[in-house]
Amino acid sequence: MDLKKYIRDVKDFPIEGILFKDITTLLIEPKAFNYALEGLYNFAKNKEITKVVGIESRGFILGGALSEKLGVGFVPIRKPGKLPSKTRTMEYQLEYGIDKIQIHEDAILPTDKILIHDDLLATGGTINAAIKLIESFGAEVSQISFIINLSFLNGLDSIRNYDVKYLIEY
């Protein structure tokens, strides 16, 4: 199935000059959603993953579905001020600014084997911050998955030492 036909381009979002790849058009099509989920699941099954970490906010959707299919827990990484308990924070560079992400202090164990999922890989700032957060607990980042890789932004270069899967490349 050609998943690219389910991705909508939104010009000048979230700021002028950015061509945003919108996955919500993929999510509303059950066959495309299930195809994407199965592709990501097949990458992760039988790999002894203990938790799936989804990055806010679109990473929650397929990340949550993956955790259910894998029979493991789901952990959200969120923007500051969104998690109700004690958190760890990591600052990082976006392709259009600086941001921070947080995770609950009690969400990850040193023995965990983590699958990180996000909707899109651009410059690699967000995923590298997530990796640093998870590894700060002593846990292993076993796999990383995305729906989309924007290869022209070279984000993959910074995570080549990890087991990475993406479904669509631009």
> What is the C-alpha separation between 6 and 25, in angstroms, rounded?
6
Active-site residue, selected from the candidate residues 8, 16, 38, 58? 58
In sequence order, what are the residues at sequence separation of 6 or more whose Cβ sits closer than 8 angstroms to the Cβ of residue 42?
none
- Cα-trace Rg, the chain: 15
Q: Which residue among the candidates 16, 29, 48, 95 is catalytic per the annotation?
A: 95
Length of the chain equals 170
Contact 109, 131 (CB under 8 A): no
Would residue 95 show up in a list of annotated catalytic residues for this protein?
A: yes
Beta bridge partners of residue 98, listed in sequence order: 93
Compute CA distances 37 → 65, 87, 112, 166, whole Å: 7, 29, 22, 11
Cα–Cα distance for residue pair 151/170, rounded to 1 Å: 6
Q: What is the DSSP letter of 139?
A: -
The residues annotated with a catalytic role in the active site are 58, 95
